[in-house]
Amino acid sequence: MKLTKPYISFQEIYAASRILKSGNLTQGKASARFESDICEYVGSKYAFVTSSATTGLHLSLDVLQIGEGDEVIIPDFSFPATANSVIKVGARPICVDIDLKTFCIDPDEIEKNISEKTKAIMPVHAFGLCANMPEIMKIARKHNLRVIEDAACAIGSTINQQHAGTFGDCGVYSFHPRKLITTGEGGAIVTNNDELSKLIGISRSHGGVRAELFFEFIDSGYNFRLSDINSAIGIEQLLKIERIISARKKYAEIYNILFEGNSLLTTPSVPEGYSHTYQSYVVLLSKGVDRNFIIRELKKLDIESTLGTYSISSQPYFKEYSAHKKISVPRSNFAFAQTLTLPLYPGMKRRDVTTVASALLAILDKKYGKTL
């Protein structure tokens, strides 16, 4: 059984082939439509589709003029793209610890790590659950910091009906196949800020603005556009998002029930008012449980599983970026060692969920018994 499988059917195939037949392949009408659909769905004023979430984060930091000499506070427990986007604009990512209940950045750790160089906070909405945005926005206002939400895993996630990505100066979604909806590769930046929206639009496409006959290049921009082939797929995917979320919630709930009361693992917790989309269903194995052994045993049964995500500061390349500062992130390190992602996708059957849960419980029972 696979960890995940994109929810694609004939509508996406038809939409993509229609673009291919039309001859207009790069960013055009389909992308504009996808952008307005995203705005409508999440309740933002602007959306800009990009070639990935990573390029979306890079572009966001760039237009916010974050660069050389600046620090950006990020959670240590995330996919390295979060840190890489900061590094690639010349700024320094400051990795701080997480809350083990939510796997999201701990607001107290943000406060502790603010320096005179801090320019922005980049919270990550881990696995489809929003970070504590009310607290984070309070801290940002108090210290006059920018907030760029890494909402790569979180299109459709909300706090009291407000969508992930719409709390900060801007937010960035991913449409990689591991996420809720996919365009193959792709991403989108959302913002409510007029000024920012102008800069994003220009920098996304070579720094050019359209004059009467030609472009005029007013800045050194990028090409971070998404093609209309991808956007056409995205339009169809977004129409299915509520179905996708409700299937994921239903299966997560079954896992939660089957794992209830087992002292060897902790199921995802959802704070009051938050809606978890379970982009990944991640359990935390108790201290002493050998997570990698479990992954190998599940693999023998043809069940794919993996770690939750990475401790960024534990990655070999990161040493030179942390050299100036001692990083202490015990909860992120624990999560890096003890999280386990289980198969979850809309195309699964209820029976598949019980098969996975029973297999995991049997492996745990055989190796550790009921007491550890």
Ligand X SMILES: *Cc1c(COP(=O)(O)O)cnc(C)c1O
Q: Give residues in contact with ligand X (CB under 6 A).
A: 52-54, 78-79, 81-82, 124, 150, 152-153, 174, 176, 187
Supply the minimum distance, in Å, between the C-beta of residue 288 and ligand X.
28
Nearer to ligand X, 180 or 284 (CB): 180
- The DSSP letter of residue 286 is P
Q: Least distance from C-beta 327 to ligand X, angstroms? A: 19
**What is the sign, positive or negative, of the torsion defined by CA atoms of 46, 52, 54, 59?**
negative
Q: How far is the CB of 213 from ligand X (least distance, A)?
A: 35
Distances (CA, A) of 69 to 16, 72, 220, 317: 43, 10, 21, 20
Distances (CA, A) of 125 to 129, 156, 203, 280: 5, 11, 26, 11
Instruction: For ligand X, give the closer residue by CB, 259 or 305.
Output: 305
The least distance separating ligand X from the CB of residue 15, rounded to whole angstroms, comes to 20
Shortest Cβ 4–ligand X spacing (Å): 12
78 vs 231, beta carbon nearer ligand X: 78
What is the spatial distance between Cα 370 and Cα 349, in angstroms, rounded to a whole number? Answer: 28
105 forms beta bridges with 98
Percentages helix, strand, coil for the chain (3-state, rounded to 5) are 40, 20, 40
Residue among 7 and 259 whose Cβ is closer to ligand X: 7
CB nearer ligand X, residue 189 or residue 357 = 189
Instruction: Please answer whether residues 224 and 91 qualify as being in contact, where contact means their C-beta atoms are separated by less than 8 angstroms.
Output: no
Angle value at C-alpha 318, between 314 and 321, nearest 5 degrees: 130
